Chain A
Amino acid sequence: EVQLVESGGVVVQPGGSLRLSCAASGFTFDDYAMHWVRQAPGKGLEWVSLISWDGGSTYYADSVKGRFTISRDNSKNSLYLQMNSLRAEDTALYYCAKDRVRSAYSYTFDYWGQGTLVTVSS
């Protein structure tokens, strides 16, 4: 059974930093690209970032480019999101999501975690 478990969400001040983690199990982690998707309270889904199966390629939404860094440790079946220079508008539930296709980008998310809440507030 595929499981994705996010952690690391807390209340942080504007301008602060935070690292989110996502522990994956139930599939061959290093065969799949992984994504972060966020959802502000009461709002819709927003794609944040993508990393290739080997960690060699990364992509970001314009809203987080230059502030967030996605990474993975395939030896630990873990995905990360380093978030710097946080703003109030980054407040959201952050989901990690698995790409549907092995060793390719389908830009389709077939499994999601339950999310971890990041609140940026003074």
Chain B
Amino acid sequence: QSALTQPASVSGSPGQSITISCTGTSSDVGSYNLVSWYQQHPGKAPKLMIYEGSKRPSGVSNRFSGSKSGNTASLTISGLQAEDEADYYCCSYAGSSPVVFGGGTKLTVL
């Protein structure tokens, strides 16, 4: 099972919005509503930010939102803040595999 495709890096200024894409196939992202997104600060464990494509766990800021179109899922962060600077990973159920992660995206807040 190949990893999901994410951009290596994205950047934005405080207050702006950014979107991170996560492209899979009809065997994973495109077939199941089981995409999740994780935030990882350096030296820390990952933190769940979005599950089932667009749902936020309790305690996660509503500045974070998720969506999906076809084989591509997206994470949007609005009102960028310095604390959002981190690595972000998408993840999807992939049937027989059964879990596949994206390669990760480094978000820089300028």
Contact = CB atoms under 8 A, between A and B. Distances in A.
Interface of A: 35, 37, 44-47, 50, 59, 61-62, 95, 100, 105-110, 112-115
B57 A45 contact: no
B101 A47 contact: yes
Given A44-B89, A108-B36, A109-B36, A61 B45 contact: no
B45 A115 contact: yes
Interface of B: 1, 3, 34, 36, 38, 40, 45-48, 51-52, 57, 89, 91-93, 97-104
Contacts of A46: 101
B86 to A, nearest CB: 13
B1 A107 contact: no
A61 B36 contact: no
A45 B38 contact: yes
